[in-house]
Each structure stands twice: as C-alpha cells, then as structure tokens.
C-alpha cells in the first residue's frame, strides 16, 4: 500500500490516492468522484461547506462547476499533487 499525505481524516491509501472521509479540507485538491463504486467525475474541489457535506467540483469545459453531496454511496478519492 502506497501511503500519501492524509488530506484530513482520510482512510485507505493505494496507488498514491486516498479516500477522504472528511471533506472539509479538500478545497483545491484534485479528486475523483465515485457513486456506488463507479467512476462518475474528476476535477478540482472549488469549495466545501463548513460541515463538509457538500462540495463544488470545478473543471474545464461547458459546465464550470458541479455540486456533490456527501451520501453513503458517494466516495471521493484524493489524487496526489
């Protein structure tokens, strides 16, 4: 298992990424979003609510931001810098 810096209460590290359990410290980080174990999106976290239950993912393209809600089936992988 390849350990990386913990971006705030993260668990399970592999291949240089970590799964974030606490989203409050993710602003500015490159992440991948998974729902029900399936990849759905990738981008940079633009901002996060104070309670860490909602984040806005920004990326280049026609849609500049997307809202992601912290639900039981949603996983955020934080990618290495």
Give the number of C-alpha atoms closer than 13 A to the C-alpha of residue 80, restricted to the C-beta side. 9
Report the alpha-carbon distance of residue 36 to residue 48 in Å, rounded. 22
pLDDT for the residue 4: 35
**DSSP 8-class letter at 6:** -
pTM of model > 0.85: no
Per-10-residue mean pLDDT, the chain, length 81: 40 71 95 93 95 92 88 94 79
Question: Which of 3, 26, 24 is closest to 78 using CA atoms?
Answer: 26
pLDDT at 52: 96
Q: Give the pLDDT confidence score for residue 2 in this predicted structure.
A: 31
Q: What backbone torsions phi and psi does residue 61 show, to the nearest 5 degrees?
A: 135, -165
Summarised one tens digit per residue, pLDDT across range 7-29 is 444 444 556 789 999 999 999 99
C-alpha span between 56 and 64 (Å, rounded): 10
Q: Which contacts (CB < 8 Å, 24+ apart) does range 59-67 have?
A: 66/41
């Amino acid at each position: 298992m390849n350990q990386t810096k913990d971006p705030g209460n993260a668990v399970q590290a592999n291949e240089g990424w970590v799964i974030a359990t606490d989203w409050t410290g993710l602003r500015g980080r490159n992440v991948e979003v998974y729902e029900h174990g399936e990849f759905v999106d990738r981008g940079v976290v633009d901002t996060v609510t104070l309670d860490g239950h909602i984040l806005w993912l920004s990326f280049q393209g026609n849609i500049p931001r997307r809202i992601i809600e912290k639900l039981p089936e949603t996983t955020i992988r934080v990618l290495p810098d």
